[in-house]
Amino acid sequence: MLEILQVKIQIMDNIFEGMDFGPLKEYLENDDVTDISYSNNGQVWLKTLSRGIFRIENPAINNAFIEKLAFQCSNVMGKSFNAAHPFLDSESAELRMNFVHDSIARNGIACVIRKTPAKIRLERNKIINEKYVTEDVLDFLITCVHGHCNIIVCGETGSGKTEFVKYLASNTYENEKIITIEDTLELHLDRIYPNRDIVAMKTNNIASYTDVLVTCMRQNPKWILLSEVRSAEAVMAVRNSISSGHYILSTIHADKAASIPNRMYSLLETNQDIEQFLKSIYRYIQIGVYIRGFQDKQTKKFIREIAEVTEFYVTEDNQAKYNTIYKKTPDGRFYRKNPSKYLIEYLEAQGTKLPNGFINPAYDVKSDEDDEQVDVVVQSAQNRPVNTPALNQNGIIFE
């Protein structure tokens, strides 16, 4: 089964080479463009890394052209595209296209093209310079990868979850075997690192997540990367992988890092005991990351940033807990807490220590009303230098 999947991936590399993309070619060759959407009898919308989503005017991209493109795709894929078969999905190694026939899309044929290039768009200097996350938190996350933490990245569609997982994966040790499991190919780690021990697996209507995972276990990987957790089968694949001693990097749709375990439970299609399930997730997933994407009102640029880093753990008295180590608010304030002793002990057991200076006694301030640790604001929206701490209701704020 594995050999057949790899051959199919090689064939897909060149599947669209003979197609005429005409006026779309300039956008497909532009590295800043990630998605192209066509609808409503001539509207063309681009999604870019720098500007987000915006409309362009290009009269050459019209219903007749998109219909011609769809028929080219249907011929290449050996599928029909007509009123009897109104949906068409086509996929190459770095391009994914979806068409809806005008018998269903009543205001004209609809098309979405997504680019999935075999490259890592994020790198350290870019992350720091664009204030994607603070340098100390970035070093902390890399340490968590070196320490074999199971990490789930969440956020909205288009926020950059997959790109950040690819960046995290690039920090795994070179001698650690990686297996990627996807229903649509987006990670491309096998092509980015051709000299590493990486196997790219793709699920389909013959080989489900469960089937592929069984084969995956026999391949003896150190890391298993699932492109996205969006089904009950994928949730169980994650849980079964981490409970059997493999390490996971994956993504999920959730509105904050602390919601990841509950979001996973909501995807289950069984009446499994919620407390038992959540404890298993809190026990085996160490880190959740929430990525936020938005368009800056002043610069009009599309901003992606890590808004939350949260750890999960089960206490000695069997209580499921989470601790938000890092949080950035929309107005630019950074809130920090120290990691729990459970994460520190986990990393030490893996032969890894936290970066020097990451633990700060100031972050351990306690509330007067109870023994709960409270948030500490460590930087203002204007990124002014840290001077004298002043205690307020949020903890310690440096301004």
Backbone φ and ψ of 109, nearest 5°: -50, 140
pLDDT at 382: 38
Return the pLDDT at 14: 58
Domain 21-115 has CATH 3.40.50.970: no
> What does the pLDDT read at residue 324?
96
Q: How confident is the model at residue 294 (pLDDT cuts 50, 70, 90)?
A: confident
Domain chopping of the chain, boundaries: 21-115, 124-398
Q: What is the mean pLDDT of residues 44-69?
A: 93
**Beta carbons of 361 and 350 less than 8 angstroms apart:** no
Identify the band that residue 391 occupies on the pLDDT scale cut at 50, 70 and 90: very low
Sorting pLDDT into bands at 50, 70 and 90, what band is 366? low
Question: What's the whole-number mean pLDDT along residues 182-195?
Answer: 88
223-226 sheet: strands from edge to edge: 198-202, 178-182, 223-226, 247-252, 151-155, 287-295, 302-314, 320-328, 334-336, 376-379, 395-398, 389-392
Question: What residues contact 42, with CB distance under 8 A and at least 6 apart?
Answer: 59, 61, 62, 63, 108
Mean pLDDT of 365-393: 44
Q: What is residue 363's predicted lDDT score, i.e. its pLDDT?
A: 84
Rg of the chain in Å (alpha carbons): 23
Q: Is the pLDDT of residue 164 over 90?
A: yes
- Span 92-109, pLDDT tens digits: 878 889 999 999 999 999
CATH number of the domain located at residue range(s) 124-398 in this protein: 3.40.50.300
Characterise 231 by phi-psi region: left (phi > 0), alpha (psi -120 to 50), beta (else): beta
Residue with tokens 């989503």: 53
The H or E element that residue 324 is part of is: strand 320-328
Cα 7 versus chain centre, distance? 26
pTM of the model: 0.84
Residue 214 has pLDDT above 50, yes or no: yes
User: What local confidence, expressed as pLDDT, does residue 65 receive?
Assistant: 96
- Give me the residues paired with residue 9 across strands: none
In this chain, the answer to whether the domains covering 21-115 and 124-398 adopt an identical fold is no
Q: What average pLDDT is seen over the chain?
A: 85
Residue 59 in this model has a pLDDT that exceeds 70 = yes
Confidence of residue 11 (pLDDT cuts 50, 70, 90): very low
Angstrom distance (rounded) from CA 3 to CA 6: 5
The average pLDDT across 366-378 equals 51
Average pLDDT over residues 283-310: 91
pLDDT band per the 50, 70, 90 thresholds, residue 212? confident
Please give the share of the chain, as a percent, with pLDDT higher than 70: 87
Query: Which H helix or E strand runs over 201?
Result: strand 198-202
